[in-house]
Amino acid sequence: MIEAGNTQYAQSNGLKIAYESFGNPDNPAIILVAGLYNQLVRWPLELCQHLVDRGYRVIRFDNRDIGLSDKFAGVRAPSYFRLLLKSYFGIPVAAPYSLEDMAADTVGLLDALEIPAAHLVGMSMGGMISQIVAGRYPDRVLSLTSIMSTSGERGKGQASLKVSLKMLQPASKDKTPLDIAVEIWQMLAGPAYPMTDDEIRKQVIAEHQRSSNPAGYMRQIGAIRTSPSRVALLKSIKVPTLIIHGNQDVLVPVSGGIDTAKHIGHANLVRFEGMGHTLPQALLDRFAELIVKNCKDAVKGDDTAQSVNLGTN
């Protein structure tokens, strides 16, 4: 059985990137690209085990500005108000770094680990990053899996203002940051896959003890919000592509996954009823099956498009 905590470091794109590697190094590599302000531990160890058991080397890593990777301490992020002005009125906003930079980090990690090409699996912001890598560095990507993500097209996969503001709720005398984190997780979890408050608190505390860098949250939001539409880039992607999305995702609504599939003509879109913006434990084995099938399609050259809407059974 694989175990967490074997953190290693690599120099990538001028940064120190923390990563964990599981499975036989000689096996085909699956790179797990995490979402907004998600440390590598957000990729469940159980999912990594399922993929290793199916014959893959699995690598999960901390993006820049999160976890044990290099931080951008002291670098000011644009305010959320200015980002809203950009979204609705097109007012120019400068961010400390871009999703393109984070895509280059991912490729730099492949370089550091001497991996010529890998299967990319990204969730949420990680899906956006993975899409860019697949489009900009096609020779480095064997297959693409984009989970609960979006195309960057305006109005697609966009959270409501209420949900967005909840994600930015400050602590108060009545609510600690931990209390707010529990509320956010409960909001994001789909109705078919709820989590208990104790489960959430345990995970949030463990992440905080590993690393805490709240300022990085807004810098990563800045990277997302200032990123242009990826529609043209998506149309250039040729590798087998799997898109997974929950029908009850309130942070990145399912329209984001549908629009992504629309622009990658050969993509397989699989929607799960009752799933929100989390990776439910009950679905991890199914996710692994779908990811591995997509990986194997890269070998077979299978580009048959499908769209599947799965229930909770």
Q: In terms of DSSP H, where are the helices of 113-160? A: 125-136
* Number of domains the chain contains: 1
Looking at the DSSP bridge assignments, the partners of residue 143 are: 119
pLDDT (0 to 100) of residue 220: 95
Kindly tell me if the per-residue pLDDT of 16 is higher than 50. yes
Residue 302's pLDDT is: 47
Give the pLDDT confidence score for residue 153 in this predicted structure: 94
What's the whole-model pTM score?
A: 0.93
Domain range spanning residue 166? Answer: 8-310
Q: Is 99 inside a domain boundary? A: yes
Distance in angstroms (rounded) separating the CA atoms of residues 22 and 31 = 11
Assign residue 171 the CATH number of its domain.
3.40.50.1820
* 198 belongs to a structural domain: yes
pLDDT bracket for residue 305 (50, 70, 90): very low
Beta-ladder partners of 243: 146, 269
Tell me, what's the pLDDT at 55? 97
| pLDDT value at residue 5 | 81
- For residue range 90-138, what is the model confidence (pLDDT) as tens digits? 777 888 999 999 999 999 999 999 999 999 999 999 999 999 999 999 9
pLDDT at 56 over 60: yes
Residue 270 placed within a domain: yes
- Asked whether residue 1 is assigned to any structural domain, the reply reads no
Residue spans of beta strands (DSSP E) within the chain: 8-12, 15-22, 29-33, 57-61, 118-123, 141-147, 241-246, 268-272, 306-310
Answer for the pair 49, 103: CB distance below 8 angstroms, yes or no: no
Q: Is the pLDDT confidence value at 308 over 70? A: no
Mean pLDDT computed over 247-259: 97
Q: How far is it, in rounded angstroms, from Cα 15 to Cα 166? A: 31
Nearest to 267 by CA among 288, 295, 292, 237: 237
Residue 312's pLDDT is 46
Q: What is the pLDDT of residue 75?
A: 92
The answer, yes or no, to whether residue 83 has pLDDT greater than 90, is: no
Q: How far apart are CA 44 and CA 22, in angstroms?
A: 13
Among the listed residues 63, 100, 93, the one whose alpha carbon sits nearest the alpha carbon of residue 79 = 93
CA 13 to chain centre: 19
**Residue 163, both tokens:** 């949900």
What confidence score (pLDDT) does residue 304 get?
Answer: 44
What three-state secondary structure class fits 270?
Answer: strand
* 72: in domain: yes
- The DSSP annotation for 244-313 comes to EEETT-SSS-THHHHHHHHHSTTPEEEEETT--SS--GGGHHHHHHHHHHHHHHHHHT----EEEEE---
Does 2 reside within a domain? no
- 248 inside domain: yes
Q: What gap in Å lies between CA 90 and CA 284, rounded to an integer?
A: 39
- Cα–Cα distance, 251 to 224 (Å, whole number): 13
- Is the pLDDT assigned to residue 38 strictly greater than 90? yes
Count helices and strands in the chain by DSSP H and E runs: 11, 9
Q: What is the structure's pLDDT at 167? A: 85
259 CB-side CA count, 13 A: 21
User: What are the residues facing 15 on neighbouring strands?
Assistant: 12
Does residue 29 surpass a pLDDT of 60? Answer: yes
Average pLDDT over residues 201-212: 93
Asked whether residue 3 is assigned to any structural domain, the reply reads no
Are 44 and 279 within 8 A, CB to CB?
yes
% of the chain surpassing 90 pLDDT = 78
Q: What is the C-alpha to C-alpha distance for residues 83 and 72, in angstroms, rounded to an integer?
A: 19
